[in-house]
Structure 1
């Protein structure tokens, strides 16, 4: 339950209150009580979505969206056509949510994803034909994959105590003491001094680091398998990963990633709340391709199981906003580096 409340974005709190209150409002409608079972479900979902959209930010749920959902709820109770209109409206809302999350104009937190679940449920009920139902299943898969990609690619924990899909961050805790602040400054200085030898990709690869994905981008990770299993944690001379900004034939070392050797073990937060560790959840299976995506609803695809990777922490050497232990580097800020 604590993780659920950590997962609520501040701008969605009013929407959450509307969502919690909506069943109390709907049961007072006499026409809803007298309707058939399918009409009850559809009008209930439409009415709930109308109410919750009243409390969501303008970029995601506006008064217009709330009015359209409410209008369809009334049509449903009145026995008038509503399926095609609701299908188009729900599809548009889901696509808008993905697009807004991709540009960080909306937060894919527990409220936003709960609303998406309600919309997908409404879409599945409204489909009578087999082909439409197949399309609904496809939309669920595409939406879940898109939201996983958006959540992981954003990797945005900056200053926010929030649980995102696929990412688990340790709670902040009390303010650090003077001793802890000094220890954090000392570690950052040692990392900066010891990584000067990795100014080029060639130097990193000569020392055993290998790229984990694309060789170009604003945050390219090189990992060292040997350092991941040497039982040395927070060793400035042997970080588990190096992070570079690579454009063309130019590479700039941004910092390092320290990682504990086994999942479930807590990394040493020597700087207290200033040195916070985090982990990632992934889905692993025996069938090809061997892994799956964590859905926005926190579950894994069939024939896969969820597992949490070992904790890790970034230490930056480029003086970013927020200091050497900032949880996230903005891509635009990285591109502006000399």
Structure 2
């Protein structure tokens, strides 16, 4: 059929191979494909090939059949980027000998190897993630860590880069990943044009959380922890020490810290910092409030403290984060640095 599996512009440019197989998640394939082919309209030169193990059409998880644009044996020797999408039943994917053979062979000759969502399981099965940091959809992260203990799983980030291997989270994170790769190859200006055309964010920084930290309060089973989390999220700008927070709950600071770790895997202080970062994200993207004012309203106290927090979590400054977020509304008013390698 024409469409997803159709030939794309850019023949003779950077060869991007997207692997397709039965029950693959459609957006894992089509999201990055749209980013790379749209980039060609603005001066990039990606030669995108959708390849299946047999060279034939595949049936996606949503029931739509898509075509392969090239047979494996007809791919050029030099591959710039290999992208492996996923399927929810990852065990079927990792047990597919033809798929594993294709991915392993392509990975050996690719300049960089990437995955979207459950595609990380395929890379792990091939040994590509051994000893590396990696991520996947937050719901699948515990399974990845259990099935492949040699992989250092980070369940929270949108995507994780370790050397020439980049893994990303759930389906739409594949778009963030592809935009980051375009920016790496062709600079922020071209990537910004692609993001504006697709009406998406320029690129969520790889370190950004897959989901709101405030939602974690809904998953806590302990009423005291939930009360503490609700109080923190109600106004992150209020100065809070663990002892004062615990006193309001009628317990000791040590007991609250222990409950917090048991329920959330983090300390109260870490949760406060995470909520403040999230509050700052919203403020930075919502208007013309200065960075210093954002820092005060989000509870950081100073822009320097907030800058250190953003550098630690996202790898970019608050100013760069704001510029990235605004790229879908119009040209950025300040330079946007490339994502750190």
What is the TM-score of this pair, normalised by structure 2?
A: 0.27
TM-score by length of structure 1 reads 0.27
Larger Rg: 1
